[in-house]
Structure 1
Amino acid sequence: MNLLLTSIGKRIELIGHLKTSFRVIGVDASTENPAKSFADAFYRVPRCREEGYVEALLAVCEEEKVSLLVPLYEPEFEILNAARDKFEEIGVKLVLSGEPVTEICNDKRKTAAFFKRYDIPAPETLSDSEVEAVIGGEQAEFPLIVKPADGMGSEGIFFAENRRELEFFYGYVENALVQRCARGKEYTIDVLCDFYGQPVYIVPRIRLEVRSGEVTKSRVDLQRRVMEGTEGLLRSLNREGRVCGPMTIQCFWEESEQRLQFIEINPRFGGGVPLAFAAGADYAAALKRMGESFAAGAAGGSLKGEEKPDLTDFREQEIKELTMLRYTQAVYEDGER
């Protein structure tokens, strides 16, 4: 079975894991990426906002007889969701949550509103008028977090320690959102959901060290409250639209106060997900069974894939509490670029 990954960049460990169950085809807008040396096949395609992007992906899918398409880059999600039927018409399942879900995830104002709507514990988000009032002298507890509402990863996030810094960062950050700080241990939860929105894996890990937005040290910690809170969040998210495939969720757990606060949802593979693989979460094998069920449904006359797979054995797999310590390697290429 063939699987296509978009925007492969540096996702070498992800490709290595998926190759245990798939032939992996990678695409990217640049040929200067190390991951292409590890994929079974590589194609250069237009940038996602350029003309011909979807058509190029469809052509690769037909050429390589792709069964599953897994996008890795947020700006692609809206475009690919709009083209979902085009891929399913040629037998390709888009492993991506539906548009209502990705919209909630990709816009942090909508994420905050979603948390509030379903009483999901989260740091308070200040309205524009509340921010202006604090800048003008109203009492507030610092630090406050200032970040772009449409940001990705840890880019453009600042801690305002006082009013002067708040005023500066609020004007400096484009489309700024201001939130109160969450406290405690910071967790990232790696999640895989089936095509019906049900979780196959929920693997919480503590973020021990992060550099340039990417985790470099992390430890699996199967904290019960974090896992239960994540299950509840997913149930609420499924009421908004279909959750599907990989999710990366972030939260804080404050042990002394027994307080859980969620801060972010990303409908994609996180950079630290290889730790979940090493701990026993066999995403590749689960995705292959999901893909086979979709193919069986399509063969039976349903483009939507009506065969529901039994994933009980994956849900019951033991997850080990491992620690990940990352290091850097390089790929070397001959010739001038």
Structure 2
Amino acid sequence: MKSVLIAAAGSGVSWQMINRLKIVWGDEVRVIAVDTNPRHLVAASLIADEFAQVPPSSSPDYGVVIADLLCRHEVTHCYPMVSEDFRVFELLSREPRLSFCDFVMPANEVKAAYDKLHLFNILHASCFPIPSTLNVDCVCLDEIEGDRIFVKPRSGFGSKGARLMLKPELPGFGDRDGLVIQSPCGAPEITVDFYHDLHKGHYLGVCRERLEVKSGVCTKARVFIDDELNELGAALARRFGIHGGFCFQVMWHGRWVIVDVNFRLGAGTAISCAVGADFFAASHAARTGLDGMKYLDVALLRNHRCCYVVRQYCEFLTLVQ
């Protein structure tokens, strides 16, 4: 039996991953969910096989606790879900005693998963289309046209801390350490859920135009397939050595430009599942040596110009005292 550890189990993406694993494989996959919150505050604890409350990923104890869980449960696959997880799991992946575990991360440049400036430096050097991107600590605002800039944390996720501002606001922004600024881009904003098999060379992307966003997660979307963005995703996957699923965002800036890359799937990826493309199952299939493409049924999208998907929330009773 495969044992899978899913980090940040309280997040939307982790819920979706755990849910799809249990729907597709049931008892064939044993899921260990971990989160900083107690069990009764994590909905995914209701469907996971095991749950453990752990320190924050920024804590020096986090890696120790995760390593203990991996050994105790003989975990075969470990999925990071927030930026700091990638930094910690990269270190754990180098420990010989944990060689039995597959840490689901890009094969190249793992630092790009938790440092957006490093990510965009690589994209720039590799000639990917990106907006002008600068380190806020050594910035020449004249390099960015217009009077507005887009500011976001170097190590962030879920759009937390990201904002549009006027250039004169930057000096008084407060704590500027660890920030990145970029040229503002225009609508639409497209997220591309992507699957790539590093060994077989198979790949497929499903695009969702973000029509409504709540807390950084897409809740209403126009879903479609685009050949140009499909090839862009394949190029990204090859550059970073991605085996399985990930997602990236593009916006319009005279052409499609990459505004973010997540080296994991997103909470909004469930929207692709609704039209038949289960990237969560496909990703895990690839990591276990199976053909992930069998879980990506895009006949509906191939036969129609686009689909629209909306989402609603669901409530769970977790504890009665």
What is the TM-score when the length of structure 2 is the normalising length? Answer: 0.82
1:198-237 correspondence to structure 2 within 5 Å: 198=201, 200-235=203-238, 237=239
Secondary structure at the aligned position of 2:76 is classed as strand
Q: Name 1:69's counterpart in structure 2.
A: 78
Work out the CA distance in 2 between the residues paired with 1:285 and 1:271.
14
1:23 equivalenced with 2:20 (yes/no): no
TM-score by length of 1: 0.78
Alignment-derived partner of residue 9 in structure 2: 8
8 Å contact from structure 1 (residues 193, 200) kept in 2 = yes
Q: How does 1:14-53 map to 2 (within 5 A)?
A: 14-19=17-22, 20-21=24-25, 22-31=29-38, 32-53=41-62
Instruction: Quote the Cα distance in structure 1 between the aligned partners of 2:71 and 2:175.
Output: 45
- Find out whether 1:245 has 2:249 as its counterpart: no
Q: Which residue of 2 aligns with 1:306?
A: none
2:274 partner SS: helix
Alignment-derived partner of residue 328 in structure 1: 313
Q: In 1, distance between residues paired with 2:265 and 2:131?
A: 24
CA shift, 1:76, in A, is 1.4
Given the alignment of the two structures, is residue 150 of structure 1 paired with residue 155 of structure 2, yes or no? yes
Return the match for 2:93 from 61, 64, 84: 84
**Counterpart residue identity of residue 9, structure 1:** G
AA partner of residue 61 (structure 1): L
> 1:187·1:207 contact (CA, 8 Å) conserved in 2?
yes
| Residues 208-264 of structure 1: per-residue CA shift (max 9 Å, x gap) | 1112212221221212222222222333x23xxx3233322110146xx5x111111
The residue number in structure 2 matching 1:304 is: none
Q: Secondary structure at the match of 2:109?
A: helix
C-alpha separation in 1, matches of 2:137 and 2:79:
40
State the alpha-carbon separation in 1 of the partners of residues 297 and 45 from structure 2. 34
C-alpha change, 1:212 and 1:43, in structure 2 (3 Å) is same
Partner AA of 2:122 in structure 1: F
Question: Identity percentage over the alignment?
Answer: 25
Show structure 1 runs of 5+ residues with no match. 294-308
Find out whether 1:60 has 2:69 as its counterpart. Answer: yes
Shift of 1:75: 0.5
Contact 2:135 2:179 (C-alpha < 8 Å) held by counterparts: no
**Which residue number corresponds to residue 180 of structure 1?**
183
SS of the residue corresponding to residue 80 of structure 1 reads helix
Tell me how far 1:188 sits from its aligned partner.
0.7
Partner residue, 2:278: 282
State the secondary structure of the residue aligned to 1:181.
Answer: coil
Secondary structure of 1:9's aligned partner: coil
Letter paired with 1:281: A
Query: Quick check: 2:8–2:82 contact (8 Å CA) kept in 1?
Result: yes
* Residues 218 and 93 of structure 1, relative CA distance in 2, 3 Å threshold: same
By how many angstroms is 1:205 displaced?
1.1
SS of corresponding position for 1:220 = strand
Question: Equivalent residues in 2 for 1:95-174 (5 A)?
Answer: 95-98=104-107, 100-126=108-134, 131=139, 134=142, 140-161=145-166, 163-169=167-173, 171=174, 173-174=176-177
Name the CA distance, whole Å, in 2 between partners of 1:172 and 1:47: 22
1:56/1:319 Cα in 2 relative to 1: closer, same or farther (>3 Å)?
Answer: farther
**In the alignment, is the contact (CA less than 8 A) between 2:17 and 2:280 conserved in 1?**
no
Q: Structure 1 333/18 Cα, relative in aligned 2: closer, same or farther at 3 Å?
A: closer
**Structure 2 vs 1, CA of residues 120 and 332 (structure 1 numbering), >3 Å: closer, same or farther?**
same
Per-residue displacement from partner, 1:285-306 (whole Å, max 9, x unpaired)?
A: 434543443xxxxxxxxxxxxx
- Write the distance in 2 (CA, Å) between the matches of 1:62 and 1:195: 27
8 A Cα contact 2:244 2:286, kept in partner: no
Q: Check conservation: 1:218, 1:323, Cα contact below 8 A.
A: yes
Deviation of 1:25 after TM superposition, in Å, equals 2.1
- Partner of residue 260, structure 1: 256
Secondary structure of 1:264 counterpart = strand
**Do the aligned residues in 2 keep the contact of 1:248 with 1:267 (CA within 8 Å)?**
yes
- Distance (Å, rounded) in 1 between the aligned partners of 2:284 and 2:162: 37
User: How has the CA–CA distance of structure 1 residues 228 and 201 changed in structure 2, closer, same or farther, with 3 Å as cutoff?
Assistant: closer
Provide the rounded CA distance (Å) in 2 between the counterparts of 1:54 and 1:129: 30
SS in 1 for 2:207: strand
**What letter corresponds to residue 270 of structure 1 in structure 2?**
G
Q: What are structure 2's unaligned runs of at least 5 residues?
A: none
Distance change >3 Å, CA 172–CA 197, structure 1 → 2: farther
TM-superposed CA distance for 1:67, in Å, is 2.4
Distance 1:117 1:197 in 2: 27
Deviation at 1:9, TM superposition (A): 0.3
Partner of 1:305: none
In structure 2, the residue corresponding to 1:121 is in which secondary structure?
coil
Pick which of 260-269 and 122-131 moved more. 122-131
- Structure 1 residues 87, 271: CA separation in 2 closer, same or farther (over 3 Å shift)? farther
